[in-house]
Each structure stands twice: as C-alpha cells, then as structure tokens.
Amino acid sequence: MQGRLTRVAAAIAILAVTVFAVLKLGGGDGGAPGGTTPAASPQTSILPGSSGAASGESAAGSASDAADASEPEEQPRAVAGVEPGAATVATDGQGHVYAANAKRHQLARRLSARSFVAIDGETGEVLLAHKEHRRLPIASLTKIMTGLLVSEAGDLTREVTVTPWATRVEPNRDGLIAGHEYTRRLLLYSTLLASNNDAAEALGVDLGGTAAGFYAAMNLRAEEIGLTETRYASASGLEDLRNTSTALDQAVLLREALDNPTFAKVASTWSIRIPWEPPTRAKVYQNHNKMLRSYAGTIAGKTGWTTKAKGCLAVAVERNGHRVIAVVLGADDIWHDMPILVDAALGRAAKQAA
C-alpha cells in the first residue's frame, strides 16, 4: 500500500512539473493567432500581385512588460572572417548585419519602448538594437505597407468607390461616405499624413478586391522584401492580435518604401490642401509625424498607436551625409524615445565612417 502511495505521489509531482513547463512555454513573444477576420467586401481586383484601440488592455500590457524583463536578449552571432574590432562583426542569421556592439549600447537616457532598432539607411546595417526581433502589434505603422502598395500600383487619379466596410472602422476617420468616389491620391495622403483608417481600408479593398485579398497582397510583398517576422491582417493597423511585426522588419520596410518616389514624396509632406466634395470643398491634411518639424534632418516616417500596441514610430533622418532609419515599438512616449535613439545612431554612423 505504501509503495502504491509513493508511486502516486511521484506521478503527481511529474504532472505538476509538466503543467508548469507547458504554462511557462505558453508565454513569450509570438502567441497563437487570435481574433476574427473582418468581412470582406466584393470588388474586382486590380493588383497583379493613430489608430483606434480597444479598451481594457492595461493589465495585459503589464504582464507583457514583466515577460520582457525576464526574456534573455538574443545576441547576434560572429561573422566568419571578420577581425575582432572591425566595424561589422555579427549577423542574426537572417541576413541582417550588425555593427560592433549594436546590442551593447548606453543611450543618453532610458527609453520607454519595449523594442527598438536603428539601421544605416544606405547599407541596412543594424547600428543599435534592443529586442528588435520581438513580434508586437504595430498599430498604424501598418499603413507604411498600405502606402507602399498604393504607390507601386500608381494611377493616383483613379476614382475609388468606398464600400460600407471601409466606413465602419474606428477613428481616426476621414468621414468617407459609402458609395462615394475619392481619388487614390486623396486617400493616400489621408492614410499616410492624417492616419485615417477609413482611407486605408478603402485603398485596401480597391487594390485587393476584398479586405482579405489585400492582406494576401501585403504578406506577399512583405515576403519579397524579406520581412520574415511580419504578418499583416489589416490595412489600417486596427487589428492588434494577428497584425504583428518587429522593429527590425519595420525599419527594413521603411527603407524599401522610401526608394519609391511617390511614397517618399507623400510621407515627407508636412501639410497639404486637397479639394473635397461640397460642402467641405477642401481639406488640409497635416502629418502626424512631428519630427518633420521638431528634429533636424527628418525625411519621412509614420506614427502609430493603439491601447495594446502603445506608441509606435518609424522615421528616416539624414544629417551630415548619414541616413538612419529608426523604429520604436510599445513606447510610452515616442517623442522622448526617438530623438535619443536617432542621436545615438547618427553618432555611431559618423564614428564608423571616420
């Protein structure tokens, strides 16, 4: 009898250890996909191939931040054939090359962001990074991909008929009216400058034929660019559960997008007046990226925010012949974090060039 009790006790102990291990493995970066897919609106496809937020996320955010603190920082691996002390010394195994001590840095002040990265705008080399591979919701940084696909499709004078689906999104909204027509140009400026979600969704359905069709096009383009840790499930960024990416992927994306002249022109615009249907007659769109005016050398960028994603910002800055692209995700204060990060990245780029 006592032997049987001993075996039962041992089995219970093993079960407890197993349950603990399963629960522990269930946390961390990625998580399982969740949420529901929004209904797609039927429309003919022409593609060849800020933000509102839900409430009640603060408790989840605190748990995630606690997980951040315990998660070990992944270090890039040494590059064969590179001498110690050389400017480029490591890679992450995905083709991203890291500058010396890119992950061992001391910034002027502590950043609030859960993840950040700064890359060389010319070479793509990672200059500074912290949890740059951590998959997180990216809010309206999603609109960088939406804007790139529209810019690549061109035909900006094309009239887009707005579907009811596009008008039912949360603010920011431009007040588009279902059944009315607006040019791609207007919707592109509305999307990238004012971060209007109805404009982004209208463009998505126009290009993809359906919302789901556009998500497929976004993911295909992401794969072509090499965004291996990104999954799109929204044209606007309102989907926080399945629409995720990393700071590094978003930096790579912005670098690619700025090679498109249309995207670069729109994303660098501070303010523009565009004709609107009566009785409004005209609207002025002003860029949410305040760094265009507050930080010397800022070329372009995109802001984002939802309750779950917190503050997100991607910018490109060029100063003294050095271009840096930087991204912060999950920040309490993007306007505090980004100048500190870019200052350090520009200093490192200048030091490497010397």
pTM, entire model: 0.77
Is the pLDDT at 171 greater than 60? The verdict is yes
Domain that holds residue 212: 87-353
Is the pLDDT at 13 greater than 50? The verdict is no
CATH number at residue 155: 3.40.710.10
pLDDT in tens, 102-117: 877 778 789 999 999 9
pLDDT in tens, 272-310: 999 988 888 899 999 999 999 999 999 999 999 999 999
Cβ-based neighbour number of residue 50 at 10 Å: 25
Q: Is residue 330, in this structure, part of any structural domain at all?
A: yes
Q: Comparing 146 with 350, which gets the higher pLDDT?
A: 146
Residues that are catalytic:
140, 143, 195
Long-range contacts of 96-102 (CB under 8 A, 24+ apart): 96/124, 96/126, 96/248, 97/123, 97/124, 97/125, 97/126, 98/125, 98/126, 98/129, 99/125, 99/126, 99/127, 99/348, 99/352, 102/76, 102/126, 102/127, 102/128, 102/129
At 72 the pLDDT is: 54
Q: Is residue 70, in this structure, part of any structural domain at all?
A: no
Q: Is residue 313, in this structure, part of any structural domain at all?
A: yes
The string of DSSP letters for 185-253 reads: HHHHHHHHTS--HHHHHHHHHHHHSSHHHHHHHHHHHHHHHT-TT-B---SSS---SS-EE-HHHHHHH
At 96 the pLDDT is: 86
Q: Is residue 47, in this structure, part of any structural domain at all?
A: no
pLDDT in tens, 50-69: 333 332 232 233 334 444 54
Q: Is residue 91, in this structure, part of any structural domain at all?
A: yes
Q: Is residue 57, in this structure, part of any structural domain at all?
A: no
Count of domains for the chain: 1
